[in-house]
Amino acid sequence: MRQQVQDTNIYSYNANWDELYLVTDEWKTDMEVFNLELQYLRNLIHTNLAWLLMDADAHQVQLTLKKIAKTIEQNKTISAQIDEHLLKLERLVMSTFFIENQGLRDENKIIESNFYEFKRNYVILKKEVFFITSTTCSAVPSEKYYSRTKPTSVFPHSLG
């Protein structure tokens, strides 16, 4: 892991602007996917809230919902930073006067750091949500809560 971090530090400062643009655009796509998954995780908890509050620790469920809300806000913040950074990179790439911009490379490194920290926290949160929902949903016997009665025929048996 340490080698990968060192390599990305070198890459951020030695890559050309087109490469930095492509990497940043990949982060943007990843953040869009994370946003959709966060919405799914929030909906997963909300749709199973009755079962979760009945079987799981209600305080833990509330904390997890707060973490999801906080993570959604972090996603919006980092996505906005990425969008702004992409515009700057695009202007630089399209510019006819190429100027080396160390400040933009530093900004790229900060956004990269924020992105990977967000990704690490997101994975932890996702595991937490799936742990809460899987233990609760597997503990709920479906026969007990979703019993179906055999439908009765509307026709008399003698017509058969």
Q: Which single residue is written with the structure tokens 């340490």?
A: 2
Residue 118 within any structural domain of the chain: yes
pTM: 0.73
In a domain, 2, yes or no: no
Give the mean pLDDT per block of 10 residues along the chain (160 residues).
45 77 95 97 87 76 93 98 94 75 89 96 94 69 47 46
Question: How far apart (Å, rounded) are the C-alpha atoms in residues 106 and 96?
Answer: 22
Q: Say what the pLDDT of residue 58 is.
A: 81
The pLDDT of residue 17 is 83
The number of domains in the chain is 1
* Residue pair 38/68 in contact by the 8 Å Cβ criterion: yes
Domain membership of residue 145 (yes or no) is no
The pLDDT value given to residue 11? 61
Determine, yes or no, domain membership for 15. yes
Q: First vs last Cα of the chain: how many Å apart?
A: 72
In a domain, 116, yes or no: yes
Residue 85 lies in a domain: yes
Cβ–Cβ under 8 Å, residues 48 and 106:
no
Question: What pLDDT does 9 receive?
Answer: 54
SS3 sequence of the chain: CHHHHHHHHHHHHHCCHHHHHHHHHHHHHHHHHHHHHHHHHHHHHHHCHHHHHHHCCHHHHHHHHHHHHHHHHHHHHHHHHHHHHHHHHHHHHHCCCCCCCHHHHHHHHHHHHHHHHHHHHHHHHHHHHHHHHHHHHHHCCHHHHCCCCCCCCCCCHHHC
Q: Is 4 among the domain residues?
A: no
Expressed as residue numbers, the domain containing 36 is: 11-137
CA–CA dist 55, 5 (Å, integer) = 42
Alpha carbon of 16 to those of 11, 87, 147: distances in Å? Answer: 9, 16, 63
Q: What is the pLDDT of residue 8?
A: 53
